[in-house]
Structure 1
Amino acid sequence: MAADYNLTWRLFDQQQACPSVLDGVSLVVNCAGPFAETAPWLARLCVECGVHYIDIGGEVSVVQQLLQLDASARSHGVAIVPACGLASIATDCLAQALLKKLPTPTHLRFAVEYCHLPCRGSVESVLLALLGWRKGLSVAAGSLRTAVLSLGCLPLSRRERKIEVSPWGSKTIQVGFDGQIRHATLFPWPDAFCLYPSTQVANIESYLVLKPWEIRVLKMVPYMSPFLQLPLIQRSMLARLPANYVPKFPIGGQNRIWAKAISGDHEAQGWLTHKPGQHMSGYDFTVFGVLAVAKRMLANRDHPVGFCSPAQVAGDDLWHDIVNTELWVDSQ
């Protein structure tokens, strides 16, 4: 690929990583998952070398490890910006827009819908992949692998500034998109960690829109979790996952992200989606989003350092740089 685009390249792994491999580099964009295997050591190397680090991951356990680099990153003048993909860029921009309408909210809630048209959902795609199916899956191969490796993770939220863990399927809400009601369940998005430094809101919850039967399946995960986390079982499941296929995203499908800020009897809602008639999957959004963050960081070197959210380093109008995206807010 580097040869096709006349680009320079460097090849190294954790054992070969040393400061010299980042000579002449000012910013690293980590797109190599599973991020549990790449992000911690690569971010530490970036801090040591004084190089800014961003990634497109979102695994909570990884974000927690990167958060521990905050003090060291600050002392080295380095920004650590994880989760620069669909969920965190969108929720971060929405949070900043809501804070302008409701400056001191006590609660922030988010919900992500990967596609507003009928298609195989996230849970359905993972189940079918484990059965050897590869046609019509809406989840990419790398995401399937991450899902299997994350079976032990539980949904979490921030409650009165402290992290709270909840069983799968134990918290559900109904979300309105264009007058249509969608069901969503609490999900281990990294917003409780990524957005707290920039918003300082005491209560943060993030949900994933799923089909009702998918939510019922997730409620069974706690009973199977000890079995599913066994190394032998995980290796067996990983071996069954299809590798070479293209995720199926319906033509005209849109990612839609909802947010609500609450302060006493007052609330404000916001939505971020693609303009009508535009076709873009969550993976496309991630590509445009992380590139927008990187470009803005390189253009403005006077951005915050340490552990940061995307909007902190790239501005709360970041969504303007993501093609065919629109955001609007309704306050009550």
Structure 2
Amino acid sequence: MSMKWMIYGANGYTGTLVAQHAKQQGLQPVLAGRNSEAIHKLAGQLELPSCIVDLNDSTALQRALADVDIVVHCAGPFEVTAAPMIEACLASKTHYVDITGELSVFEYAHANHERAQQAGVVLCPGVGFDVIPTDCVAAKLKQALPDATELTLGFDSASRMSRGTAKTSVRRLGEGGAVRRDGKITPVPLAYHTRTIDFGNGEKFAMTIPWGDVSTAYYTTGIPNIEVFIPASPNLVKKLKRLNWFRWLLRFETVKKFLEKKVEQQPAGPNEKQLEQAITYVWGEAKNAQGVTETLRITVMNGYKLTSHGAVDVAQYILTHSPAGGFYTPATLCGADLVEKYYVVA
């Protein structure tokens, strides 16, 4: 019996990459979203079935998912869109994966673990660059140092952000940063910690960011103290530290909308050359109470290209292996070696 799966938000930059990769693999997902013109155009180009449905219409959404085995959710911002899709998936007993990196979404999905178990539904957010590489690095470091109490992760990429990623980033600026401390997600200022890190491409000044692993790496490894870093210029760090004094202004929806309009003026995302050439360096460090340290560096394909591959791979893994319902991270679902599919030689 053939399994039916859906890519929701297929007309967005990353959703289109996912749909194109699925087609290249000879797969036949249903392309879905609320933008009738864009969805039908893409479906026509790829010769794939389509479905028009709005997330805000819960009845219609459940009806659209009634015979769908799994949804790859690509429509952001996920802090707004993930909950209605997850609720519809639990009601229709449809497996759910998405490409988010948003802490609140991972925590929401984890909070629904028992409901997902009872429904026999897999909830696995973050099946793209957010957070496959870092999650798998975390799992491998836990294997190497089982008694680790501190985990530090990071990545270095020259790739341009997509508009969707940029919008998510500006929407969260007002919330500041986040780290995991003694097992709990702890709000901290922007650019909270800085250090010099060799991500795999030479030493660079870096700062903490509220990346998805602050949530997911804890569920993957049980390590209670987690921080995530990216390279940043000293000048940018100074600006962000100053911004902390006015961060409350960025929580107003009108300010968020203004910043999102600014983002709309940017290119949709990396061009084809960047997708092929802008590789990503991923680094991790685990430390135990005695000060013993394990370090791991890997090099993977461009983040958006990895997302298009990872989303399809994890969806197909679920359809093939039929795991028990519940919340998963990519590494707990598919194993720490999942990331090895996306290695490149620098």
Q: TM (normalized to structure 1)?
A: 0.83
2:155 equivalent to 1:155: no
Aligned to 1:314: 334
Aligned to 1:104: 147
Separation (CA, whole Å) in 2 of partners of 1:21 and 1:260: 44
Gaps of at least 5 residues in structure 1 are: 120-137, 275-279, 328-332
Partners of 1:51 and 1:78 within 8 A in 2: yes
Partners of 1:304 and 1:312 within 8 A in 2: no
Separation (CA, whole Å) in 1 of partners of 2:276 and 2:44: 32
Question: Among residues 55, 59, 64, which one is paired with 2:107 in the alignment?
Answer: 64
What are the equivalent positions in structure 2 for 1:22-37 lying under 5 Å apart?
22-37=65-80
SS in 1 for 2:180: strand
Change over 3 Å in CA distance of 1:48–1:150 after alignment to 2: same
Q: How many residues align?
A: 299
Query: 1:3 deviation in Å?
Result: 2.1
Letter in 2 for 1:174: T
SS in 2 for 1:83: coil
1:201-244 deviations in whole A, cap 9, x for unaligned? Answer: 12111122222222222112211212222333333332333356
Partners of 2:156 and 2:199 within 8 A in 1: no
Separation (CA, whole Å) in 2 of partners of 1:252 and 1:237: 29
Change over 3 Å in CA distance of 1:51–1:259 after alignment to 2: same
Separation (CA, whole Å) in 2 of partners of 1:316 and 1:150: 29
Aligned to 2:12: none
Gaps of at least 5 residues in structure 2 are: 1-41
Separation (CA, whole Å) in 2 of partners of 1:87 and 1:109: 16
Aligned to 1:10: 51
Moved more, 244-253 or 208-217: 244-253
Query: 1:114 deviation in Å?
Result: 1.6
Aligned to 1:270: 296
Letter in 2 for 1:314: C
Partners of 1:56 and 1:290 within 8 A in 2: yes
Query: 1:154 deviation in Å?
Result: 2.1
Letter in 1 for 2:206: A
Partners of 1:311 and 1:318 within 8 A in 2: yes
Change over 3 Å in CA distance of 1:78–1:260 after alignment to 2: same
Separation (CA, whole Å) in 2 of partners of 1:326 and 1:252: 11
Separation (CA, whole Å) in 2 of partners of 1:220 and 1:52: 43
What are the equivalent positions in structure 2 for 1:74-89 lying under 5 Å apart?
74-89=117-132
SS in 1 for 2:336: coil
Percent identity, aligned pairs only? 27
Partners of 1:319 and 1:326 within 8 A in 2: no
Separation (CA, whole Å) in 2 of partners of 1:212 and 1:240: 24
Letter in 1 for 2:228: S
Separation (CA, whole Å) in 2 of partners of 1:155 and 1:96: 23
Aligned to 2:250: 228
SS in 2 for 1:4: helix
Query: 1:60 deviation in Å?
Result: 1.5
Divergent runs of 4+, >4 A: none
Q: TM (normalized to structure 2)?
A: 0.80
Letter in 2 for 1:95: A
Moved more, 223-232 or 248-257: 248-257
User: What is the CA RMSD across the aligned residues, in angstroms?
Assistant: 2.2
More helix as a share of residues: 2
Aligned to 1:286: 307
Separation (CA, whole Å) in 2 of partners of 1:234 and 1:196: 30
Moved more, 66-75 or 174-183: 174-183
Letter in 1 for 2:283: W
Partners of 1:197 and 1:309 within 8 A in 2: yes
